[in-house]
Structure 1
Amino acid sequence: MIELGKVEYYLLAINVIGAVVYLINMFLYRHTSNGQINVIVTITFLLGGSAGMLLMMLFFDRKAVKENMMSRVFVICIFIIQIIILLIYKGHHAEHVTFAFWKFFADHRMLLIYFGIMNLVTFIVFAIDKVNARAHRSRIRIVTLLGLLFAGGSIGGLISMYLFRHKTQKDYFTVGMPLIIIMQIVVIFYVMNAGW
């Protein structure tokens, strides 16, 4: 049997709380006009309850709409960052920390090529969506745009967003995109220093 330590008990408790708080907030959004508990939700997932909230999203709130898009981006990014923090806490890291990003990408050229292609594709897709918006044609789904950002195209999306002044009024892009970039930097930094 696995023996749980204080950290594991804390994470279990905060994620149960996170799940309950998320369900309460979801109920309030659907049934009241001004009864949301967004501050409590934010504090709970920043304290480590993001996994519980993510599970509730997957089980009870799968429909992605504009109103819940920012919370989804935020929870996913924070969840990934918290996983990395937990891995570091558990000792899954190299003995020496390096910040040599260029050396890492020089050693892993396929990853650099992948990011280059993803950023170019994302830049083009954002541009196409802007053209379609101006011409009142069918638009590219928000989930698709966010998926491209999460898949590694966040820099191309950011450049396209500000170059074409597209999606600059949507918080899930103006706040979400820099958060996705931060999350991706944390992931790359961890992979560089994971000691594998």
Structure 2
Amino acid sequence: MSPTIHLAQQPEADELLGRSPLAVLVGMLLDQQVPMEWAFSGPYTIAQRMGSDDLDAARIASYDPDAFAELLKQKPAVHRYPGSMAKRVQQLCQYLVDNYDGDVSAIWRDVATGDELLARLKALPGFGEQKAKIFLALLGKQFEVQPKGWREAAGAYGEKGSYRSAADITGPESLAKVRAYKQEAKRAAKAADET
């Protein structure tokens, strides 16, 4: 049974995120310098433009890079920086093919601990410490991927009842709470810089 996801705030895009580990991983990759809903609707848009109802890591990795960049650049663009994000998506997919036979769920299927899963996520192209922790929290909170110590490995993003990131969004109300948290964090950081 696929979880009900509300990250894209679009039924078709959210349905894909709920059933496709690659789609949610690509959405997380795209989630930078654009509104979260735009990032997480990207996998659905890419699948549609590739003439499919799902994403396939091997197919994306082997796609002609210029043609793939054009898919992301079509209006409306998949990202604010569609060319560079096309490269990142293909790098991620190539890594998945090389290391996990293109099976995204193999990243977490046999892990024993949250720390082990975090290390695997941090090894993904385009995933630094923070993005890996947010994705780990998303897996634990919404996809029931909960190896021992997953909350601790995800840090503050793993806290129960928090509203810090995509991991905590289950609908419009929680989206508003996450946005408010992020705005407050930006204000606090700006105030700290000015002192």
Common fold, TM-score beyond 0.5? no
Q: Give the structure, 1 or 2, with the largest relative contact order (CA under 8 Å, sep 6 or more).
A: 1
TM range (shorter): under 0.3
Q: Greater Rg, structure 1 or structure 2?
A: 1
